[in-house]
Structure 1
């Protein structure tokens, strides 16, 4: 049986990745594909936690630019991540994967409150844990949530799942035909070059806690498994 390179991982799913080509909302075929890929790595013996974004439903920064109070707009974004988390939980449990959703904002009727030790215990029992509602605080992105939760649960890697982008480039490959893909980067490279892999707070957290980041294309079936197995895929940020 194949052995995963990483035993405990954080999978960072952007809201856009769940929207697929539609660009808005939750696309059933996409979320089903993600669920199947997660099941594959759970069956390999990996402990999987997921941090979901909410950009397919609402982006706090966009609301703020339209004149809305920034904190209110960010809280709305946190609630959007809960919708995505519940949809992913449903897709996973429909294919037999035991799953728990934990939220940073308490809503006990639909999810558990985030408790670090409880989350780790779920992982040890081979349950997928989905972290929703960001950090529970405005002004922090779900990238920062992924870095923070990875440090808290002692994850060995953050898998940054991108929609139709197979790594980190020196320019937007959708706009610049000559854009060059990086195979490896250091944390300082990302910060100094302003590459936008994660926001500055998230990258700094990963650097301080020596958590590698693998940026890859989730749109290609089987890529989560390839990343878990340590195959050369996408771009790795470490060191």
Structure 2
């Protein structure tokens, strides 16, 4: 599965994907800080996105908010769940705006599209308008989840990927390069899957996405590709069929 192109090979990688969803966690933006936004990390991820955008691929993004506030954690600490979830949605808008700024600094036109109206800082979600942005080669960052409490950004990414007719969801992970039978950060004998079915993810309780998101992907036959986001060039390489990853499909 892993191919190592020669250093002399400067040809543009070929990809069969025309439109994809990139889902990353909010924690991916905080670097080694443990909280908040780490500008060099945001800039590095923006460069990864640009390298794929330069291939002509249309890109949607959903970014979590766990580096700022996580609704489930707030609820667990006694905050009313609905309020906590709305606070988490606002955190995703902050992350989306940060990524928009970083992408436009490197010359990639970007739109932040929110499921909750806040017209002064981003666009409301209108499906046909979002599709038009993608056709004009703008990166669309979907923020504020689905706009409803009790739904994760994993579910939001899967929902928007289906609505935008994406060909796959690319899930960038920190510290892992695919789906394992158990946590590789704890268990040295963890085994990585090259491919796994949606049903196995659900029945074996593999930590990929929440069950609602996996079921939505399965019901719409939407492939999920899990890869390591912390490896430079990883996103572009995976799109070209190189590198290490796990493909979740029927």
Contact kept in structure 1, 2:60 and 2:140, CA below 8 Å: yes
Deviation at 1:55, TM superposition (A): 0.4
Contact kept in structure 1, 2:234 and 2:243, CA below 8 Å: no
Deviation at 1:232, TM superposition (A): 4.7
Partner of 1:10, secondary structure, is: strand
Instruction: Structure 1: give runs of 5+ residues left out of the alignment.
Output: none
Partner Cα distance (1:206, 1:231) in 2: 23
Question: Deviations 1:58-82 (Å, cap 9, x if unpaired)?
Answer: 0000000111110000000000000
* Number of equivalent positions: 239
Residue aligning to 2:36 = 25
Q: Which has the higher helix share?
A: 1
2:174 is equivalent to residue 172 of structure 1? no
Question: Once superposed, what is the RMSD of the aligned Cα atoms?
Answer: 0.9
2:151 is equivalent to residue 140 of structure 1? yes
Runs ≥4 residues deviating over 4 A: none
Residue aligning to 1:117 = 128
Normalising to structure 1: TM-score of the pair? 0.98
Residue aligning to 1:192 = 203
2:219 is equivalent to residue 203 of structure 1? no
2:56 is equivalent to residue 65 of structure 1? no
**More displaced, 64-73 or 21-30?**
21-30
Residue aligning to 1:51 = 62
Instruction: Structure 2: give runs of 5+ residues left out of the alignment.
Output: 1-11
Partner Cα distance (2:231, 2:13) in 1: 20
**More displaced, 200-209 or 223-232?**
223-232
Contact kept in structure 2, 1:5 and 1:230, CA below 8 Å: no
